[in-house]
Structure 1
């Protein structure tokens, strides 16, 4: 960080200032912090709590309750695998097991090299085209192991 760059706490306070007057400002603040850093760093929880006059436990509770908030940086490629009933009925669990085996991580984890984060979701709204996944924000349906692997490789190499 250069002397002219704002500190992490200053950046968080700037996000809080945008939402300070909002009712229920915590969720918009957390979304803003995550947009700023790519995750909600644990060291900013006390800053958020102080700025919003909340306890650290309240802030941490919201972060840990909602699956969309991360406490660690995500991988360069984020793979969200649908595990809702419609996708389960057409092979989603097979895809989950395959992805975990290929990348050597469980759902909710990131590979050691930071390349891929595997996550689970419980509906992507693509029920008629299951099993479905979202890779770096792009929805894909009718997946099998081979197509999933290909899509992830393309996302990692920038061809997706």
Structure 2
């Protein structure tokens, strides 16, 4: 019973957001951004609601969601750690650091630790090429990463 109520509440909120924004020219991205802001991810039920409102197929909506890396299909952890994997960061050793991060957290890209503390995401340029390798934790940039910085970042997200 409680699960059904929760699903109905999510569907109702999704429908309200879609109704509010569907009049815009090119409304899908504004709708998806608002849903992501509201829920922290795009609920599965939203795909059909958006498709019906915009006269699209569910597959078309799914295609847009999966094309853009910032749209999530499930909730992220309390902290989101994004590690740059662009060329400058690669040349400065981001791959060995990424391997260490994944090993210490016990997760891979796009996964969340079992305790829900950290989600690990790859990104392809944070604009800190001259200070590579770089990462972003909860919107805060970290440059010139090394194992020491990595330990501090991981301690921060585990606190």
TM-score by length of 1: 0.90
Which residues in structure 2 correspond to 1:9-24 (within 5 Å)? Answer: 9-24=11-26
- Separation in 2, partners of 1:149, 1:47: 43
Correspondent of 1:131 among 130, 133, 140: 133
Other-structure match for 2:99: 97
Shift of 1:145: 2.1
Q: Does 1:120 align with 2:122?
A: yes
SS in 2 for 1:93: helix
Shift of 1:149: 2.4
Q: How many residues align?
A: 154
Q: Give CA-to-partner distance per residue, 1:58-83, whole Å, 9 cap, x none.
A: 11111111110100110111000000
Other-structure match for 1:83: 85
| 4+ residue runs over 6 A deviation | none
Which residues in structure 2 correspond to 1:3-42 (within 5 Å)? Answer: 7-42=9-44
Name whichever of 7-16 and 76-85 sits farther off. 7-16
SS in 1 for 2:89: helix
**Structure 2 gaps, min length 5:** none
SS in 1 for 2:111: coil
- Separation in 1, partners of 2:68, 2:43: 15
Q: Give CA-to-partner distance per residue, 1:109-157, whole Å, 9 cap, x none.
A: 1111111110000000111111000001111101112212212322443
> Are the counterparts in 2 of residues 76 and 156 from structure 1 also a CA contact under 8 Å?
no
Shift of 1:39: 0.4
- Separation in 2, partners of 1:22, 1:152: 42
Which residues in structure 2 correspond to 1:39-78 (within 5 Å)? Answer: 39-78=41-80
TM-score by length of 2: 0.90
**Structure 1 gaps, min length 5:** none
